[in-house]
Structure 1
Amino acid sequence: MRVLHTVYPPSDQGNPFASLLIDALSEKTDSSYFSWRAAFLERWDVVHFQWPEKYFVAGNPLVSLAKRLRFRVWMRLLKWRRTAIVLTIHNLATHEDPGKAAAAELARLDRRVDRYVALNPAVDMAGLAAPVDVIPHGHYRSLIPDTARAPSSGRRILYFGFIRAYKNVPGLIRAFGASDLSGRGYDLRIVGKPHTPVIAADVQSSAEDATGQVTTLLKALNDNDLYREITRSSVVVLPYADLYNSGALLMALSLDRPVIAPRTPATEYYQSQFGVDWVLLYDSPLDESSLESAVASVKDAGERAALELGSLDWPVLAIDYLRTYQVATTHVGRRHRR
């Protein structure tokens, strides 16, 4: 079976989700990273979409139009070739408004999907145009060398990851500054690249105004430096306004760091999977009292049961993905026999 994944080869600062999946599938499928040459000139049994918004959106309106037209031609070619389409649901909604034209293209793609993959069951499956298979997000432990682990610096609260508006990082800084956590020996560390200069300025000014020890490193880090930042912390906080799926949550757990996150159907699922010692939930909005309460609930490493992530090994998950691909190709055949 030949599968084209709509992601580019990995970089040292990219999201490793897709590369871990493709590596795990390599013994079972002929899986390839994306290129437009491969998309148009080669035949595939399945095209597996991840984060499709990138195909429709650009800073220039004319470039955006050209990208949408190219995508429509490709979709017609996939239909003619009877190629199955699988789409992973990474988010329940786009985090930034892509515009009406791009939204229309996303809707057009949805009508062509043969099978969805949901990373957890907190999805309105009845509202989707095709059946859904729940295949959880795998862990990252196979990527992490022992040399990239740093000793914990004690009472450090960490936010890491790309900084977008919905992630509420300035709100976390303000909640920390208003709390008494600094007086109890905690410091707050913010690591990640802001999405816009406006967000960067908001984070920096919030940090400068905060009472207590707040440090920032507002740039993307290579993998090993990121692992060291995480392992220096005692707990990771995800102050998002809402959360469905989070690679940061799985990354923190892969490095044996507990996570504080907002209470949502998805995070309640993660808490049921990993336990209350590893996933600690607060009721939004995040403020000083909810942050203090969550941090106070974090147990020392010696008091937590070891976190077992064997069910999230990528070779195990690859078996489920292969089954999804097989069902999707069968659906295409039935659709074209009607």
Structure 2
Amino acid sequence: MTPRVRVLEVMEPPDGTTRYADQLVEHLPESVDIVWFTWRRALTCRYDVLHVHWPEWLVRTRPSTLPRRLATRAAFVALMLRLRVTRTAIVRTEHNPEPHEPGGRTERALLRWLDRRTSLRVHLNALPGGEGPSDVVIPLGHYREQFGVHPVSTRVPGLLVYFGKIRDYKGVDLLLEAFAAARADLSLRVVGNPQTPQWRSLVEDAARADPRIGYVLEFVADDTLVAEVTAAELAVLPYRDLHNSSVVLVALSLDTPVLIPSTPVTRAIAEEVGPGWVHFFEGTLDTADVHRAVDALRAAPPTGRPLLDARAWDVIGASYARAFAAATRSSALARPSTNHPEPAQIAR
């Protein structure tokens, strides 16, 4: 029997839309009690596991003023010392090897401290060298149940869609540049919330210059997302860097083929889901990549549905429960670590 574990989740709580947080918590067994992160809870409440997803979330502030940065770093130091004294386990789900937007020297020192204190790492993909004693592989889950309740659109031949947050590493500028030279039978929808006003202006300017481009530049509800994605012949995700992506799984959950960068991770996804669903580009996306993917898709359209059985959320939830319990046992047996930054490093 899996022992009861209280977990402090370091991410925003569910808000009624379909997100990773909702999926994970909904499918955890009753043996796991979830508490959502606030600094007050982190520093005063009882919990067995601190579950970190994007560690930079613990040391960055918005707006990033000097007083706020200093206060957040002081709180981080207090948290780390408390975790050490109480021997609380730290579980980190490694969504990305490094933050997409790099931080400064102080941030890197603080995050190295967190890394050294981590009891168990959850990897979303198989490790090339196999799992070590402090590693476990639990993949991202699919979104068929959650999005399956919404009506789908009729596919529009030649329609491409980009969806998701619009930020630097996702390469929307590369997509707009490639699409500008695309043949006349193609059209493009850009759906997502821009991270900066500059990204918003970039999309709006491209749409003014090319009537084939349409957009919805905001966070959209689930029903709107389903309608946009299922209308497209192909989802194009021109990322500069892709290690893991829920967006890819959303598209595949909605039976929409994807064009994504070729990496070991994305090649493994292609093998998993079956032929015809995943198309690749090498390096930087260009117009030829778009034409090649559309032509290949039309010449050999996929049949059935993508194979996503290994990504069922009830299996994922049970795996996380076992991981939390194992981390708690490991942390209880370990001596408190003395590996932490010098005070001078923290103050910088």
Pair in the same fold by TM > 0.5: yes
8 Å CA contact 1:122, 1:266 repeated in 2: no
Cα deviation code 1:39-70 (max 9, x no counterpart)? 23322121111112122112212101101111
* Correspondence for 1:50: 53
For 1:66-113, what per-residue CA distance to the aligned partner results, in whole angstroms no more than 9, with x for missing partners? 011111111211111111100011112211122222222111111110
Query: Which segments of 5 or more consecutive residues in structure 1 lack a partner in the other structure?
Result: none
Match of residue 182 from structure 2: 179
Alpha-carbon distance in 2 for matches of 1:337, 1:77: 11
Q: Distance in 1 between matches of 2:76 and 2:129?
A: 27
Does the 8 Å CA contact 2:174/2:284 hold for their aligned counterparts? no
Counterpart-to-counterpart distance in 2, 1:193 and 1:303: 30
Opposite residue 34 of structure 1, the aligned amino acid is F
State the distance in 1 between where 2:240 and 2:124 align.
19
Q: Say whether residues 1:99 and 2:104 are aligned partners.
A: yes
Q: How does 1:1-338 map to 2 (within 5 A)?
A: 1-12=5-16, 16-58=19-61, 59-121=64-126, 131-180=134-183, 182=184, 185-210=185-210, 213-299=212-298, 303-336=302-335
Asked if 1 retains the 8 angstrom alpha-carbon contact of 2:277 and 2:302, the reply is no
Contact preservation (8 Å) 2:259, 2:281? yes
1:113 corresponds to which letter in structure 2?
A: T
Instruction: Report the aligned-residue RMSD.
Output: 2.4
Asked if the contact 1:22/1:32 (under 8 Å) is kept, the reply is no
Residue by residue, what CA displacement relative to the aligned partner does 1:264-293 show, whole Å, maximum 9, x if unpaired? 111111112112311111112211111111
CA distance in 1, matches of 2:254, 2:305: 11
Where structure 2 has 5 or more consecutive residues not aligned to the other structure, the ranges are: 338-348
Structure number with greater CO (CA < 8 Å, separation at least 6) is 2
Q: Which amino acid aligns with 2:240?
A: A
- Structure 2 CA distance for aligned equivalents of residues 142 and 33 of structure 1: 24
Once the two structures are TM-superposed, the CA of residue 245 in structure 1 deviates from its matched residue by 0.4
Aligned in 2, Cα 1:236/1:54: closer, same or farther, shift over 3 Å? same
Preserved contact between residue 122 and residue 136 of structure 2 (Cα < 8 Å): yes
Identity of aligned residues (%): 35
**In structure 2, how many angstroms separate the alpha carbons of the residues matched to 1:326 and 1:146?**
34
Equivalent residue letter for 2:218? K
Are the equivalent residues in 2 in contact too, given 1:241–1:285 (CA < 8 A)? yes
Q: d(CA) in 2 for partners of 1:154 and 1:112?
A: 52
What TM-score results when the alignment is normalised by the length of structure 1?
Answer: 0.90
Give the CA deviation at 1:200: 1.9
Report if aligned partners of 1:259, 1:280 keep a CA contact under 8 Å in 2: yes
**3-state DSSP of counterpart to 1:336:** coil
Alignment size in residue pairs: 331
CA distance in 1 between counterparts of 2:336 and 2:150 reads: 56
